[in-house]
Amino acid sequence: MKITNIEPFVVSQELNTPFYFSQWEYSTRQICIVRVTLDNGFYGWGEGYGPAAVIKAGIEFFSQFLIGKPAIENETLWQEMYRRSMDYARSGTLQAAISAIDVALWDLKGKLLKQPVSVLLGGIKNPRIQPYATGLYFTKGSDLAIKLAEEAQLYKAQGFSAIKMKVGLSIEKDIAFVAAVREAIGTDMKLMVDANHAYCSKEALELCHKLEKYNISWFEEPVSPEDYEGYRRLRQKSNIPIAGGECEYLKFGFKRLLENECVDIAQPDICAAGGLTEVKRISSLVQAYCKDLVPHSWGTWIAISAAVHFVGNLDKNPGRLFDDMPTMELDRTENPLRDELTTKSFSLKNGIIEVPNAPGLGVDVNLDYLAKYSEK
């Protein structure tokens, strides 16, 4: 059962309603997915998070070292890819290319062994997951506070118990929008905010103080991912838990984040930080620092399903008899690549995900859609 083909695809589609956040505007969704095929005809799907064309080039680079190798030895292949990249790209998009191939290899392994990925990771410790809804981005036009409040109410009606909204336009606007959303959802729903590193630590601390009365469960990426000292100072002075890590790669990046006491909640993206193989190692590191891990996830059902299986296997830290369900990110913004290119592998009812039992990730890709929207 050797690898015979590794095919990256860059897929793009325009959005009906462009949206923006503190850094960029999105008018198109674009992703790089990969299919790894074996000599017995089996194949697995993976996905990289980040600039799709660069990830595609990275996958093409790594392919030459993997063709003809046994797919089931995913950790051996991971190490081969890592060693081929470390002299030039110890973090960044080449690691997302490794992640995409790694996720596809886990999918393949599950299909070969007829087991869901969560079981292969060690077992389903958490059969049910309570994801939080990511949305509440900004759109053009007036009455943004009203639109955000209505969107938040929609997630509440769908059964979500927690939502995350964007901040980072300005402190005044952030306060106004958070106040509108909190009023719309009431006090019984968790609310998180994400600045996508829009602020310096002084601004972030001012925002923390002004947000405290809105009962914020975490403040995500308050400052630059380069500013470990700013993260640390903010965390020491803030009563709001600090989250971050979607811009970190491999265990080494998370070691920096943790030993600098930057975060209460570490947020590796499985499709960027090194795949399921490396993020499982990162979870041990996070546990050793007695912090929480909630994976960042942004993409198709391939990426989201990888996160579902990962969280299904995640250790409770420290755990208790009547424990809450673990959480993970579930992006609810417009994404035709998620909803039309791929098929959801798990059930989501009343805001609860059941970890699926199908072999591998359990994800299907619509090949007609792939042929129509992938770059030739």
Residues in contact with Mg ion by the rule CB under 5 A: 194, 220
62 vs 177 by CB, closer to Mg ion: 177
283 vs 297 by CB, closer to Mg ion: 297
Please, are residues 108 and 133 in contact by the beta-carbon 8 Å criterion? no
Burial 9-42 (b: 16+ CB within 10 A, else e): bbbebeeeeebebbeeebeebbbbbbbbbbeeeb
Please, are residues 204 and 227 in contact by the beta-carbon 8 Å criterion? no
User: Which residues carry out catalysis?
Assistant: 296
- Pair of tokens at residue 303: 């990426």
Q: At what angle do helices 228-237 and 250-259 cross, to 10 degrees?
A: 40
**Cβ contacts of residue 311 below 8 Å, gap of 6+?**
126, 129, 295, 326, 327, 328, 355
Instruction: Report, in Å, the least distance between residue 248 CB and Mg ion.
Output: 12
Q: What are phi and psi of 243, to 5 degrees?
A: -120, 150
Please, are residues 133 and 192 in contact by the beta-carbon 8 Å criterion? no
Please, are residues 230 and 238 in contact by the beta-carbon 8 Å criterion? no
Smallest CA-to-CA distance from 195 within 151, 229, 162, 242 is with 242
Instruction: Report, in Å, the least distance between residue 347 CB and Mg ion.
Output: 26
Instruction: Report, in Å, the least distance between residue 215 CB and Mg ion.
Output: 20
Instruction: Report, in Å, the least distance between residue 150 CB and Mg ion.
Output: 22
Taking CB atoms, the residue at the shortest distance from Mg ion is: 194
121 vs 136 by CB, closer to Mg ion: 136
Amino acid letter, residue 13:
Q
174 vs 194 by CB, closer to Mg ion: 194
Please, are residues 275 and 84 in contact by the beta-carbon 8 Å criterion? no
Instruction: Report, in Å, the least distance between residue 241 CB and Mg ion.
Output: 14
Instruction: Report, in Å, the least distance between residue 13 CB and Mg ion.
Output: 22
> Strand 242-244 to strand 265-266: parallel, antiparallel, or no bridges (unpaired)?
parallel
102 vs 220 by CB, closer to Mg ion: 220
21 vs 62 by CB, closer to Mg ion: 21
**Cβ contacts of residue 120 below 8 Å, gap of 6+?**
106, 109, 110, 113
